[in-house]
């Protein structure tokens, strides 16, 4: 009888040791599984936070999704903590009920259920992570709308630039036509002034020759030689010499009889011609200055048009 009792006690001790060993192994596995799940959850949380900061730069609506994910992560974490608490409670109960072998299967089943729940939670977190990586439909819609707006905006800009280019081209052509017309008129006026000046110079030279030949008959020999040495084209000096000769030899001129009024007429006519030639030269210089100014303005307008055309082309 005592041997049977001892044997039963040994069997119970062995059974108890096996249960303790099994419980310890289950606890270690549970601890390792909990640690791995905790690490995965923390890593997932870190990645979610990093992705949230990166996506906040592109869109504001994505923050709502991050908050939802954080809320979901918090819920899952609380569920995990609740499961861990239950596991700890079960471990305590197993320790307290080591003598109750009939509860072993029940608690083992419960542990397996908890493990399955943890696996399900892990899969759910994976699905949530994959969903977070996918761009939301609203973002895709906004990107498509922005692309369409960009295309329309570029088309509008090109149309405005084309209209501006045509308007500027028309203004440039009108300005060039006006400048060419003005330049043509100025060139015609300048040519007329030149022709008139040449005619006046020829008339003056001819009159000077006539006046010189007439004066040679009335002037003394020394004055006659002095006038012959003068250049015929220097009209102002000839007129001055004539006027001086008239004042010095007034008697001789008056002695000439009917030719004195003729000589005075030529002197006044020469003076008037000199004034006209001076006026013609001054007018010619003014026309040439106006022509140069118009050419300068036309050149500046052409440069401005070229720059504007380059800007429009760019």
Owner of token pair 């002197």: 267
Which tens digit of pLDDT belongs to each residue from 242-257? 455 444 444 444 444 4
Q: pTM of this prediction?
A: 0.29
Residue 232: pLDDT band (50, 70, 90) is very low
What's the gap between Cα 130 and its chain centre?
41
Three-state DSSP at 274 gives helix
What does the alpha-carbon distance between residue 190 and residue 285 come to, in Å, rounded to a whole number? 9
- 33-42, 207-216, 258-267, range with the lowest pLDDT: 258-267
Two structure tokens written together for 116: 């399955």
Report pLDDT for 118.
Answer: 85
């Amino acid at each position: 009888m005592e041997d049977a009792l001892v044997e039963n006690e040994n069997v119970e001790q062995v059974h108890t040791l096996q249960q303790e060993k099994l419980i310890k192994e289950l606890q270690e596995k549970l601890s390792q599984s909990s640690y791995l799940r905790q690490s995965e959850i923390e890593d997932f949380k870190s990645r979610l936070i990093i992705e949230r900061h990166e996506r906040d730069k592109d869109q504001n609506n994505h923050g709502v999704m991050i908050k939802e994910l954080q809320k979901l992560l918090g819920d899952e974490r609380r569920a995990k903590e609740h499961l861990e608490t239950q596991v700890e409670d079960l471990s305590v109960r197993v320790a307290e009920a080591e003598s109750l072998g009939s509860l072993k299967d029940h608690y083992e089943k419960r542990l397996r259920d908890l493990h399955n729940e943890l696996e399900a939670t892990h899969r759910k977190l994976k699905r949530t992570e994959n969903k977070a990586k996918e761009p939301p439909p609203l973002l895709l819609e906004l990107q498509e709308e922005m692309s369409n707006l960009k295309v329309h905006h570029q088309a509008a800009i090109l149309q405005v630039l084309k209209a501006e280019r045509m308007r500027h081209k028309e203004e440039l052509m009108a300005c060039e036509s006006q400048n060419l017309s003005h330049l043509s008129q100025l060139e015609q006026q300048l040519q007329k002034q030149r022709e008139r000046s040449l005619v006046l110079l020829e008339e003056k030279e001819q009159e000077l020759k006539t006046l010189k030949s007439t004066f040679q008959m009335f002037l003394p020999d020394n004055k006659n030689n002095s006038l012959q040495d003068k250049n015929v084209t220097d009209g102002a000096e000839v007129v001055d010499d004539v006027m001086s000769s008239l004042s010095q030899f007034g008697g001789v001129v008056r002695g000439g009889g009917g030719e004195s009024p003729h000589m005075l007429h030529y002197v006044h006519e020469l003076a008037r011609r000199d004034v006209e030639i001076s006026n013609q030269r001054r007018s010619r210089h003014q026309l040439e200055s106006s022509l140069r100014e118009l050419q300068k303005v036309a050149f500046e307008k052409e440069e401005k048009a070229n720059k504007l055309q380059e800007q429009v082309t760019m």
